[in-house]
């Protein structure tokens, strides 16, 4: 007996659909809700501060052994081989470290090493979301070695050199922002920079597709860094409290005395950065002549020792824009910088304006830096330097 064509279609569908359903059910959801990696590139003069932070970490919130949350710490301390450990709390309150990976000595301030560590994290601990804390030296968007080069040195010794973190210096090697971007193989829920000068619009634009939120400082950060005894708990809340982590950072330093009462910090929403660039491009296009002759007189600095590469973004834009353009800029900026905190001073810098973001201002006298800057995504999009 002949079967109709439609009959065989029904039979085939009856066989295929169950098979398809079985395949779909084999896709397993991650067992973990959140994994946070603290990446400590401390094979440098900050090693003692890293040990202090590790001690503080054990005094604060640590997920339990059976938790769906994981805290990982990559430790590369001076004179020691690097290792990746999981820290957890047992039922009796004891803090334990489980070694996930042990490495031969290598340079932790390279993108290749960071990428390997992140790959290990994701392979061993598949999770619904990931957070990343980067801990070390940093100089923002600058070329490797530029910040501390002899030609840009001050005429006097830095009186605060022992108490600041000026990410990623290991035996003279630094990780530039583009290398960092390429080393991040997937998107994070958040990235926190416990290092200096990373709260710049150039850095933020470069990393906007690598994290939902970023926390950073436009100025340097004191070498004590984040108060890890208190900041980890809000990061592990079911509904993560990034603003609370920033507040605790600020409150810690605001309660200090003298030069230790020094902090700036900001929380950025990365999916709003593109619109900010559109607004700034329009302003730059409309004021090309003013932009070519702009001076930094009266702009809020975020630097010390004549390192004149970090200025307040709002001050800069307001210095060339019309009142209507300023309003458009302010609205766009407020969508990006969703939280900001600062003490009245950072060391010897008086902070009168704090937009939460720094920027480079072009300098015809520095053709090397201007040319280096041209290839950054922020400049390509906005056309500040032609």
What mean pLDDT do residues 271-288 have? 99
What mean pLDDT do residues 272-282 have? 99
- 27-45 pLDDT per residue, tens: 467 889 999 999 999 988 8
Map residue 349 onto helix, strand or coil.
Answer: strand
Structure tokens at 242: 């990034």
Residue 15: count of CB within 10 angstroms of its CB: 9
The tokens 């290092």 sit on which residue? 195
- The reply to whether 168 falls in a domain is yes
Instruction: Say what the pLDDT of residue 286 is.
Output: 98
- State which of 238, 255, 272 marks the end of a domain: 272
Does residue 171 carry a pLDDT above 90? no
What residue numbers bound the domain in which 58 lies? 32-272
- 100-130 pLDDT per residue, tens: 999 999 999 999 999 999 999 999 999 999 9
- Cα(152)–Cα(205) distance, rounded to whole angstroms? 26
Task: Give 5's pLDDT tier (boundaries 50, 70, 90).
Answer: very low
What mean pLDDT do residues 337-353 have? 98
Instruction: Say what the pLDDT of residue 26 is.
Output: 47
Residues 376 and 229 occupy one common structural domain: no
- The reply to whether 1 falls in a domain is no
Does residue 170 carry a pLDDT above 70? no
Residues 100 and 86 occupy one common structural domain: yes
Distances (CA, A) of 122 to 14, 28, 29, 45, 61: 38, 15, 14, 30, 22
Query: 342 pairs with which residues across the strands?
Result: 264
Average pLDDT, the chain: 91
- State which of 272, 294, 309 marks the end of a domain: 272
CATH code of the domain in which 260 resides:
3.40.50.11970
Does residue 159 carry a pLDDT above 90? no
Residues 216 and 319 occupy one common structural domain: no
Residues 293 and 146 occupy one common structural domain: no
Does residue 24 carry a pLDDT above 60? no
- The reply to whether 179 falls in a domain is yes
Structure tokens at 25: 């059910």
For 289, the enclosing helix (H) or strand (E) is helix 288-292
Task: Give 155's pLDDT tier (boundaries 50, 70, 90).
Answer: low
Instruction: Say what the pLDDT of residue 163 is.
Output: 73
For 102, the enclosing helix (H) or strand (E) is strand 95-102
- Cα(356)–Cα(378) distance, rounded to whole angstroms? 17
Residues 246 and 284 occupy one common structural domain: no
| pTM attached to this predicted model | 0.91
What mean pLDDT do residues 283-304 have? 95
Instruction: Say what the pLDDT of residue 156 is.
Output: 58
Residues 223 and 302 occupy one common structural domain: no
- The reply to whether 362 falls in a domain is yes
Domains identified in the chain, total number:
2
Does residue 298 carry a pLDDT above 70? yes
What mean pLDDT do residues 176-181 have? 96
């Amino acid at each position: 007996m002949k079967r109709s064509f439609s009959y065989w279609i029904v039979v085939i569908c009856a066989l295929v659909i169950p098979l398809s359903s079985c395949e779909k059910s084999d896709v397993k959801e991650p067992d973990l809700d959140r994994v946070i990696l603290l990446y400590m590139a401390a094979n440098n003069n900050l090693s003692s501060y890293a040990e202090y932070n590790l001690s503080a970490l054990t005094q604060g919130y640590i997920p339990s052994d059976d938790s769906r949350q994981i805290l990982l710490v990559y430790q590369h301390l001076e004179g020691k081989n690097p290792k990746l450990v999981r820290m957890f709390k047992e039922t009796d309150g004891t803090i334990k470290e489980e070694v996930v990976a042990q490495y031969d000595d290598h340079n932790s301030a390279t993108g290749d090493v960071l990428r390997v560590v992140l790959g290990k994290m994701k392979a061993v601990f598949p999770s619904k979301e990931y957070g990343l804390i980067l801990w070390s030296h940093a100089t923002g968007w600058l070329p490797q070695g530029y910040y501390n080069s002899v030609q840009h040195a001050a005429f006097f010794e830095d009186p605060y050199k022992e108490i600041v973190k000026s990410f990623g210096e290991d035996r003279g090697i630094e990780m530039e922002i583009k290398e960092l971007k390429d080393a991040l193989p997937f998107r994070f829920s958040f990235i926190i920079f416990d290092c200096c000068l990373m709260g710049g619009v150039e850095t933020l634009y470069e990393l906007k597709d690598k994290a939902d939120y970023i926390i950073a400082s436009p100025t340097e950060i004191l070498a004590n860094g984040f108060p890890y005894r208190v900041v980890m708990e809000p990061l592990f809340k079911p509904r993560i409290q990034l603003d609370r982590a920033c507040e605790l950072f600020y409150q810690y330093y605001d309660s200090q005395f003298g030069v230790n009462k020094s902090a700036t910090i900001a929380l950025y929403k990365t999916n709003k950065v593109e619109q900010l660039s559109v607004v700034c491009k329009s302003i730059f296009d409309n004021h090309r002549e003013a932009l070519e002759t702009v001076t930094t007189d009266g702009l809020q600095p975020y630097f010390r020792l004549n390192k004149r590469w970090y200025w307040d973004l709002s001050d800069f834009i307001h210095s060339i824009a019309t009142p209507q353009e300023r309003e458009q800029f302010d609205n766009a900026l407020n969508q990006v910088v969703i939280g900001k905190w600062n003490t009245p001073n950072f060391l010897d810098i008086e902070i009168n304006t704090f937009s939460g973001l720094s920027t480079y201002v072009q300098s015809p006298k520095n053709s090397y830096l201007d040319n280096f800057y041209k290839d950054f995504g922020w400049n390509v999009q906005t056309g500040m330097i032609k």
